[in-house]
Amino acid sequence: MQIANHLQSGTAVKNIQPAHIPFSPYQPDSTSSDDTDPRFPRSQKYQISRHPGSNSSHIAETDCLLQRNGYSIHLVNSLKQRIKASTLIKRMYASRGYQTESASVFSTSSNQYTFEARQSQQLIGTLTLTIDTGKGLLADTLYQPELDQFRRQGRRLCEVSKLAFNPETSSKEIFASLFHMAYIFAHRIHGVDDSFIEINPRHATFYKRMLGFRQVGELRTCPRVNAPAVLLYLDLEYMKEQITTQAGQFDQKTKSIYPHFLSQNREKEITQRIQIEHTHFVPPSSRKSTFNHHQDYFQPA
């Protein structure tokens, strides 16, 4: 099970505990995602670059997918950055009393991507995306029957895991940007239909309210972290609709995080850049059901 730092249901934004994401209330002057805002010229507000800045050592370690409002989102490629991401995950897991032996991102599998958020060269958040390509997902350890129901329908799956944030620097916008990059890789690049996350039940309300996840797996105990878990899923076509209708449309009454996502134009630009620079990605048209490959090979991670 992958435990993140989240707002608990009913928790006031300004009273977040250290192990949760300390989302600050939305401030139009500093976090607007509206491309039409004249205070943020398009060339300054969003940048997509493979080589951000002039730090050559950092350039070699990550691909920069997005620069936005003082922070950047990267695809992790080096051992050094994987160690940093794993350290952050373990620190956040330990703060909640979870076992940390499995909290690492050292896999270099072609179906797994680790993203990081950075601010002033400091790692402030990370998540890992795994595409279901016949090798199984971490959630199969507890929830293979539930996942197989989707596979039988010809649905292609992915899993979001190892999500952690530095509680002193994270925000709704950074959280949204990380998830938007994962969405682009999963849905736009790989043609994934459904995303799953195995989460502590105390955080389930957060994902349901903020992103529209639904619970499909009952309460069980995850052996990897020795903590309770439930399985949530999100239809990525639903996610696409929410991004299309809500990105940049801020309303103080909404509890959704989708207003902090990127515009359709920015999403398209990033997708095209990824497709050009990462030619090894499998196009959605070549995807096929992997259900027949998922039989009795799952080992606890």
Mean pLDDT of the region 207-224: 93
Is the pLDDT score of 12 beyond 60? Answer: no
Q: Who wins on pLDDT, 108 or 292?
A: 108
In a domain, 20, yes or no: no
Quote the pLDDT of residue 195: 99
Point out the least confidently predicted range of 35-49, 125-139, 208-222: 35-49
Instruction: Report the chain's mean pLDDT, rounded to a whole number.
Output: 74
In a domain, 167, yes or no: yes
Contact 203, 197 (CB under 8 A): no
Is the pLDDT score of 180 beyond 90? Answer: yes
In a domain, 294, yes or no: no
Structural domains in the chain (count): 1
Tens of pLDDT, residues 123-175: 888 899 999 998 899 999 999 999 999 999 999 999 998 888 887 776 899 99
Q: Who wins on pLDDT, 76 or 61?
A: 76
Domain that holds residue 269: 42-278
Quote the pLDDT of residue 215: 98
Is the pLDDT score of 97 beyond 70? Answer: no
In a domain, 71, yes or no: yes
Quote the pLDDT of residue 108: 63
The set of residues, in sequence order, having a beta carbon less than 8 Å from that of 175 and lying 6+ positions away, is 21, 23, 125, 165, 257, 260
The set of residues, in sequence order, having a beta carbon less than 8 Å from that of 47 and lying 6+ positions away, is 66, 67, 68
Q: How far is residue 167 from each of residues 82, 106, 235, measured CA to CA in Å?
A: 19, 23, 28
Look-up of token digits 């990525």? 236
In a domain, 22, yes or no: no
Quote the pLDDT of residue 91: 75
Contact 211, 127 (CB under 8 A): no
In a domain, 7, yes or no: no
Question: What percentage of residues in the chain have a pLDDT greater than 90?
Answer: 43
CATH code: domain of residue 263: 3.40.630.30
In a domain, 249, yes or no: yes
In a domain, 17, yes or no: no
Is the pLDDT score of 186 beyond 60? Answer: yes
Q: How far apart are the first and last CA of the chain?
A: 9
Please report which confidence band the pLDDT of residue 27 belongs to, taking 50, 70 and 90 as the band edges: very low
Best CA proximity match to 299, nearest among 216, 221, 197, 224: 224
Is the pLDDT score of 234 beyond 90? Answer: yes
Quote the pLDDT of residue 104: 56
Mean pLDDT of the region 182-209: 95
Q: Evaluate the CA torsion angle 136, 132, 162, 87 in order and state its sign.
A: positive
